[in-house]
Each structure stands twice: as C-alpha cells, then as structure tokens.
C-alpha cells in the first residue's frame, strides 16, 4: 500500500513543482483544480500575499466658505431739476437761499444768470430785500450775495445797504464789497469808516475787506495806523499789522501789533 502511494505522491509533487513555474493565471487555475479534487496542497509563497490594509477614504477637508460680499448700498441719487425762471426777485432770492444751504451750485448759477440778464430791473428789488429790517436775515444776506455777483452795476446799491444796515447784513455787505471789481474810491472810504465802528467783528471784517482789495486800498493806511494806536483788542491790532503789510509793504509798521 505504501509502495503504491509513494509514486502518486511523487507525481503530485512533481506536478506542483512544474506548476510553480507557470504564469500566475495558470497557477491559480491549477490550485482550483486541486481544491475541487480534494487534494491537499501547500500554497506557494508567491500565491500568498499579506492582506491589504483597508484604507478609509481621506476625510474631506472642511471647505472654508469665502465671506459673502455685502451688497454695496449706493446712495439714491435723484436728479435735481434746475429752475431757470422765477416769478419775481423775491422768488429768486428764496431759491438762491435754498441753493446756498444745500450747496446747489447749478441752481445758484441759474438764479444769478436770471438776475444778470436784466440787472437794472432787479438791483432795486434786491436792495429793498437787503435793507428790510423786518425781513428774514438769511434772505437779506442772500440778496447781498446776489448783488455782489452783479459786480460794478450793483456797487451803489451795496454802498446803500452798508450805510443803512447793521450787524450780520452790514458785515456781509462789507465782505462782498471787498470783492467787487473795479474798486471804487467810495468803497474804500466806506470801509475806512467801518474801522471806527464800535463792534469788534465789524472792524475785523472791514480790515479783511481792505486786505482783499490790496494796493487800491492805500488811502486807508493812515486810518489803519490810527486804529492800531487806539485799538484795545489784540486780535484787531494783529489784523491791522497784517493789513498794512499787504496794502503797502513800504509803510513803517509799529514795533508791536
């Protein structure tokens, strides 16, 4: 019995060694045949592979969402219609006053153009508004501003307003006269008179207007020197000192303002 089994074992061993030299697909088929036949077979080391470690899919990195841009709030802009015609001078002054408050340059220019188209018809009305003591102070100052925009034709009206008003209206008129060109001798004389005004602010405004006029205001030099001698307000004296340097650099200045 033993002698009969040994050749069979040798045959099986030879077959296994021969099968080991086959390509892997053929070896797998040979193993399957042996298993089905119930034969014991020691698997070749090349057929045994370590189990592959299970690799979990990489965890998805958290997605950082970019912050959403906030919608830009655009200021609602409403086209403002510029009024170019007016019922009368009073209406034009009201519109100009509102334009000055709201910085409506286009509307203010439209008012000035309307008045400048017929200045002789409007200057008298503007003067009346500016000198109306019972009128709204802002409307009166606006009327003075409009007179100043008319230039030389409105100079006599401005001098009348300067002589017949007080406080803010007078100071605004002095300021406006400092910018009217060409400069008239009556304008310089009127501003010199204000240097003797009892209000400090009025004297300061007169000095600023004379400085704005510049060299044509040289007739005011003697009065400015006299002002600096009697002035008790240091700020006014300093302004007088600066005015002299601007109006006539060759004048001998006091040692101290």
Per the structure, the complete domain to which residue 197 belongs is given by 183-257
- The residue among 178, 205, 232 that closes a domain is 178
CB–CB of 153/119 below 8 Å?
yes
Q: Residues 163, 98: one domain? A: yes
How far apart CA 183 and CA 187 sit, in angstroms, is: 7
* pLDDT tops 90 at residue 111: yes
Give the pLDDT confidence of 190-241 residue by residue, as tens digits: 999 999 999 999 999 999 999 999 999 999 999 999 999 999 999 999 999 9
Domain-located, residue 64: no
Q: Hunting for tokens 């519109």 — which residue is that?
A: 95
Mean pLDDT of 121-143: 96
Mean pLDDT of 91-119: 94
* pLDDT tops 70 at residue 110: yes
Q: Residues 238, 170: one domain? A: no
- The set of residues, in sequence order, having a beta carbon less than 8 Å from that of 88 and lying 6+ positions away, is 125
Q: Hunting for tokens 């030879």 — which residue is that?
A: 14
CB–CB of 205/222 below 8 Å?
no
Percent of the chain whose pLDDT exceeds 70 = 68
Mean pLDDT of 1-11: 48
pTM of the full predicted structure? 0.67
Q: Hunting for tokens 């510049």 — which residue is that?
A: 214
Q: Residues 170, 101: one domain? A: yes
The angle formed by the CA atoms of residues 24, 28 and 31, to the nearest 5 degrees, is: 135
- The residue among 117, 150, 178 that closes a domain is 178
Give the pLDDT confidence of 144-184 residue by residue, as tens digits: 999 999 999 999 999 999 999 999 999 999 999 999 999 99
CB–CB of 243/228 below 8 Å?
no
**Residue 103's CB: how many other CB atoms inside 10 A?**
8
**Residue 153's CB: how many other CB atoms inside 10 A?**
13
- The residue among 144, 178, 212 that closes a domain is 178
């Amino acid at each position: 019995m033993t002698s009969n089994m040994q050749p069979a074992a040798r045959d099986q061993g030879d077959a296994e060694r021969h099968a080991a030299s086959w390509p892997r697909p053929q070896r797998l088929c040979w193993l399957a045949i042996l298993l089905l036949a119930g034969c014991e077979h020691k698997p070749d080391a090349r057929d045994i592979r370590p189990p592959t470690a299970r690799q979990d899919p990489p965890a998805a990195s958290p997605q950082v969402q970019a912050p959403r841009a906030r919608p830009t709030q655009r200021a609602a802009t409403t086209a403002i219609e510029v009024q170019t015609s007016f019922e009368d001078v009073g209406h034009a002054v009201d519109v100009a006053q509102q334009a000055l408050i709201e910085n409506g340059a286009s509307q203010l220019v439209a008012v000035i153009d309307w008045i400048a188209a017929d200045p002789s018809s409007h200057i008298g009305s503007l003067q009346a508004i500016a000198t109306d003591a019972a009128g709204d102070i802002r409307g009166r100052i606006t009327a003075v501003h409009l007179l100043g925009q008319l230039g030389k034709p409105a100079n006599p009206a401005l001098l009348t307003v300067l002589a017949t008003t007080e406080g803010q209206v007078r100071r605004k008129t002095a300021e406006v006269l400092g910018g009217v060109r060409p400069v008239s001798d009556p304008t310089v004389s009127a501003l010199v008179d204000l240097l003797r005004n009892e209000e400090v602010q009025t004297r300061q405004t007169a000095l600023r207007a004379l400085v704005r006029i510049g060299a044509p205001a040289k007739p005011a030099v003697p009065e400015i020197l006299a002002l600096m001698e009697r002035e008790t307000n240091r700020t006014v004296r300093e302004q007088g000192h600066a005015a002299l340097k601007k109006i006539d650099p060759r004048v001998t200045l006091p040692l101290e303002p």
